[in-house]
Amino acid sequence: MTAAAVAVLGLAACSSAPKDDPNSQANLEKLYAEAKEDMLSGSYDRAIKTLERIEGRAAGTTLGQQAQLDLAWANYKSGERVQAVTVLDRFIKLNPSSPALDYALYMKGLVNFNDDLGLFGRISRQDISERDQQAARDSMQAFKQLVEQFPESKYSDDARIRIDYITNSLAAYEVHVARYYYNRGAYLASANRAQAALLEFQHAPALEEALFLMVKSYDRLGMTQLRDDSERVLKASFPDSSYLTTGTARAKDKAWWQIW
């Protein structure tokens, strides 16, 4: 083959070679920079599309992991809580030894925590006797896992505060439901719900009213032994309780999520 033929073949090879590899590190980093700019400007929908491309192309790399975390955040900020949790669950499952695992757990707790706060506000004056509190429980579980696995994490102190808040909120919710049943004459359901709160949330402030509702409900049911036992626990646990002197629940049924 002549030198000219070799040169021609070489040029043909160059012209047929891809000019730009979409999976190259340079291109992926360029896409990531664009996604970050979109997130900073609040263009979360556009950022989500870009981050999903990066996650698929850079799977198993540090950049791919970072894209996953940013994707979860972008979904969260755009109001897609379920999708954000799905991305975080995927990250946690695929990257159990990642140095960012504590952050992923914290974000999962935060996504559910904030969603639940919004839920509390929206339903505060509605009939919530059978509302699902799964978001709050999922949030608490994520925060607990964070604190147990990474007690020294910079996110753990805040997680502990949020665990206490969620615990008190869930206890208050259970007491709210017990009060709902009592006010409608469903005394056995009221006593059972109050007792469930007492067993699950042993140190929450709302348990004072839970015990009082048990006293009143058992009294209405004619269960004198259970009434007396509940009253004895109420006196021992809350000797200065206003319920012991007034004998009535709070005059105004406040929005239960505002009681602290």
For residue 230, what pLDDT is reported? 95
Which residue shows structure tokens 């839970």? 210
pLDDT tens-digit series, residues 200-252: 998 899 999 999 999 999 999 999 999 999 999 999 999 989 888 876 655 34
- What fold, for 26-95? 1.25.40
DSSP letter, residue 7: H
Kindly report each contact of residues 64-68 with a partner whose C-beta sits within 8 Å and lies 24 or more positions away, as own/partner: 65/91, 65/95, 65/98, 65/100, 66/32, 66/100, 67/32, 67/35
CB-based burial, 54-76: b 16+ in 10 Å, e otherwise: bbebbeeeebbbbbbbbbbbbbb
For residue 227, what pLDDT is reported? 95
69 CB-side CA count, 13 A:
17
Angle, CA of 117, 86 and 160, to the nearest 5°: 45
pTM of the full structure:
0.75
For residue 5, what pLDDT is reported? 44
Contact 160, 152 (CB under 8 A): no
pLDDT tens-digit series, residues 122-134: 444 444 434 558 8
What are the C-alpha distances in Å from 200 to residues 83, 175, 197? 30, 12, 5
Domain boundaries, the chain: 26-95
